[in-house]
């Protein structure tokens, strides 16, 4: 199946979008055409005069690691364009940054999970541009883990953060264009928002079916399979377990020096989780938690991508580790993604309910029922924003 991304639709027919004479561009390393030309080069090559480039977390080149590893703006050595960082002191563009812009093009590859900060950088850009009367054009891209599965809790009042500025399920099942239109409509700022749709994408498609090349959208997202486990795997950042950062299998490897790999695998097998198998393993992170130390734990292997439920699976992993290793297991302490008071697990999960359930050893099957009401409400809301 041939896929034409939103970026390519903009390049093919720029007259269809309100760009004006001095557009800005929010992009990152995965902002490429199907032939792997970066958005900056593709847009300039079409004769469109970009005036400024913005970058989200990890930098435009995707070189910086996660959780408050900040980067500063610069000037592009090839094009001479000013580059502004939207991760750090200014996670929302200032009026000075937006001065003189005729429009803002946003081209970011999302991975379909609420905590992936690019969606919130884009949302903050839309809010800032709305305040200045600047049109925003979203270059839409496929949701790599598909658009037909919704999973997990939403966000309770008081738990909004940079890993969740809007109440949506952990796995939202939308493209970035659909999601931003929904979020902007909630805030009454969608009138000047335009989506360049993907051509050829269907909701049931996973990344391999798109025929597009995978470009790491962030340093620890090396493959489509990483994206598939990430809606659950990122929750491990809220614990003192290694989530596999610093290895070739981030978010697939889970463990610590004090875990018994075979006990954990046996406990997870007993949970009878859908479409997942757990292989006892050892790994040694090169950086991040337990750098240079041998960790024991499991690798998550997916048996059926359509039946696999990442949030449920990693809830069970965290619950089982806590039950097996009560003297060692801990929740991570703040700060985490610019939240300095609440526990990271609480802002990731959207409330204290996830942590409470783990601490009370609530069976995974009961969590499915607890999340269903939230999933159903969102499923109804999103119907009006589906573009595919």
Q: Establish if 58 belongs to a structural domain.
A: yes
- Establish how many alpha carbons lie within 13 A of residue 344's alpha carbon, considering only the half-sphere containing its beta carbon: 19
Q: What's the CA gap between 79 and 48, in Å, rounded?
A: 13
Residue 82 pLDDT more than 60?
yes
Q: Establish if 195 belongs to a structural domain.
A: yes
Q: What is the CATH number of the domain that holds 233?
A: 3.90.1150.140
Q: Concatenated DSSP letters for 313-355?
A: HHHHHHHHHHHH-TTT--BPPSPBTTB-SS-HHHHHHTSSHHH
Q: What's the CA gap between 348 and 342, in Å, rounded?
A: 10
Q: Establish if 375 belongs to a structural domain.
A: no
Q: Establish if 72 belongs to a structural domain.
A: yes
Taking only the tens place, the pLDDT of each residue in 89-112 is 889 999 999 999 999 999 999 999
The answer to whether 252 touches 222, Cβ cutoff 8 Å, is: no
Instruction: Please check whether residues 60 and 163 belong to one and the same domain.
Output: yes
Q: Give the predicted TM-score (pTM) of the model.
A: 0.95
Instruction: Please check whether residues 199 and 66 belong to one and the same domain.
Output: yes
Q: What's the CA gap between 97 and 129, in Å, rounded?
A: 10
Query: What radius of gyration, in Å, describes the C-alpha atoms of the chain?
Result: 21
Instruction: Please check whether residues 87 and 176 belong to one and the same domain.
Output: yes
Q: Establish if 1 belongs to a structural domain.
A: no
Instruction: Please check whether residues 17 and 154 belong to one and the same domain.
Output: yes
Q: Establish if 69 belongs to a structural domain.
A: yes
Q: How many domains does the chain have?
A: 2
Question: Residue 301 to residues 143, 225, 249, 276, 309: CA-CA distances in angstroms?
Answer: 21, 9, 11, 6, 12
Q: What is the pLDDT, as a whole number, of residue 89?
A: 82
Taking only the tens place, the pLDDT of each residue in 55-78 is 998 878 767 776 656 657 777 778
Residue 77: burial class (beta carbons within 10 Å; 0-12, 13-18, 19+): exposed
DSSP class of residue 384 equals G
Q: What's the CA gap between 276 and 303, in Å, rounded?
A: 6
Average pLDDT, the chain: 95
Instruction: Please check whether residues 211 and 228 belong to one and the same domain.
Output: no
Instruction: Please check whether residues 150 and 250 belong to one and the same domain.
Output: no
Q: What is the pLDDT, as a whole number, of residue 7?
A: 98
Does a cis peptide bond (omega within 30 degrees of 0) precede residue 335? yes
Q: Which domain holds residue 318?
A: 224-370
Q: What's the CA gap between 128 and 4, in Å, rounded?
A: 29
Instruction: Please check whether residues 197 and 283 belong to one and the same domain.
Output: no
Instruction: Please check whether residues 271 and 139 belong to one and the same domain.
Output: no
Q: What's the CA gap between 177 and 170, in Å, rounded?
A: 17
Q: What is the CATH number of the domain that holds 93?
A: 3.40.50.12170
Q: Per DSSP, what are the bridge partners of residue 106?
A: 26, 138
The 3-state DSSP class for residue 84 equals strand
DSSP class of residue 21 equals S
Instruction: Please check whether residues 130 and 12 belong to one and the same domain.
Output: yes
Instruction: Please check whether residues 366 and 271 belong to one and the same domain.
Output: yes
Q: Establish if 200 belongs to a structural domain.
A: yes
The answer to whether 54 touches 26, Cβ cutoff 8 Å, is: yes
Alpha helices in 33-175 (DSSP H): 39-45, 95-98, 118-132
Q: Concatenated DSSP letters for 202-258?
A: -TT--HHHH-PPP--SSTT--SHHHHHHHHHHGGGGGBSSB-STTSSSTTTEEEETT
Q: Per DSSP, what are the bridge partners of residue 300?
A: 278
Instruction: Please check whether residues 188 and 254 belong to one and the same domain.
Output: no
Instruction: Please check whether residues 197 and 143 belong to one and the same domain.
Output: yes
Residue range 2-7: average pLDDT?
Answer: 94
Q: What is the pLDDT, as a whole number, of residue 79?
A: 82
Taking only the tens place, the pLDDT of each residue in 191-249 is 999 999 999 999 999 999 999 999 999 999 999 999 999 999 999 999 999 999 999 99
Residue range 296-310: average pLDDT?
Answer: 98
């Amino acid at each position: 199946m041939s896929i034409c991304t939103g970026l390519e639709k903009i390049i093919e027919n720029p007259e269809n979008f309100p760009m004006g004479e001095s557009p800005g561009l929010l992009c990152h390393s995965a902002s490429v055409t199907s032939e792997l030309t970066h958005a900056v080069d593709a847009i300039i090559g079409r004769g469109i005069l970009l005036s400024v480039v913005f970058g989200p977390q990890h930098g435009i080149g995707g070189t910086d690691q996660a959780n408050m590893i900040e980067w500063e703006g610069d000037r592009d050595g090839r094009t001479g364009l000013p580059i502004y960082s939207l991760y750090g002191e200014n996670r929302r563009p200032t009026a000075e940054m937006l001065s003189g812009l005729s429009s803002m093009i946003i081209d970011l590859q999302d991975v379909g999970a609420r905590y992936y900060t690019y969606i919130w950088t884009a949302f903050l850009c839309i809010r800032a541009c709305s305040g200045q009367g600047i049109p925003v054009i979203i270059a839409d891209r496929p949701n790599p883990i598909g658009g037909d599965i919704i999973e997990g809790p939403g966000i309770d009042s008081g738990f909004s953060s940079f890993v969740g500025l809007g109440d949506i399920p952990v796995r939202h099942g939308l493209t970035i264009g659909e999601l931003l239109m929904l979020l902007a409509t909630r805030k009454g700022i969608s009138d000047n928002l335009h989506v360049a749709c993907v051509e050829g994408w269907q909701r049931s498609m996973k990344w391999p079916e798109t025929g597009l090349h995978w470009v790491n959208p962030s340093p620890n997202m090396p493959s489509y399979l990483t994206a598939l486990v990430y809606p659950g795997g990122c929750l491990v950042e809220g614990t003192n377990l290694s989530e596999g950062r610093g290895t070739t299998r981030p978010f697939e490897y889970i463990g610590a020096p004090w875990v018994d790999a075979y006990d954990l695998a046996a406990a997870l097998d007993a949970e009878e989780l859908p479409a997942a198998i757990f292989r006892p393993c050892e790994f040694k992170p090169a950086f991040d938690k337990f750098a240079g130390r041998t960790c024991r734990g499991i690798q998550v292997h997916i048996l059926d991508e359509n039946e696999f439920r990442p949030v449920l699976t990693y809830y069970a992993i965290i619950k089982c580790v806590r039950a097996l290793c009560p003297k060692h297991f801990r929740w991570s302490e703040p700060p985490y993604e610019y939240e300095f008071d609440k526990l990271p697990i609480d802002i990731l999960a959207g409330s204290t309910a996830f942590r409470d359930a783990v601490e009370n050893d609530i069976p995974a099957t009961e969590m499915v029922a607890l999340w269903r009401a939230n999933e159903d409400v969102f499923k109804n809301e999103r119907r009006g924003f589906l573009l595919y």
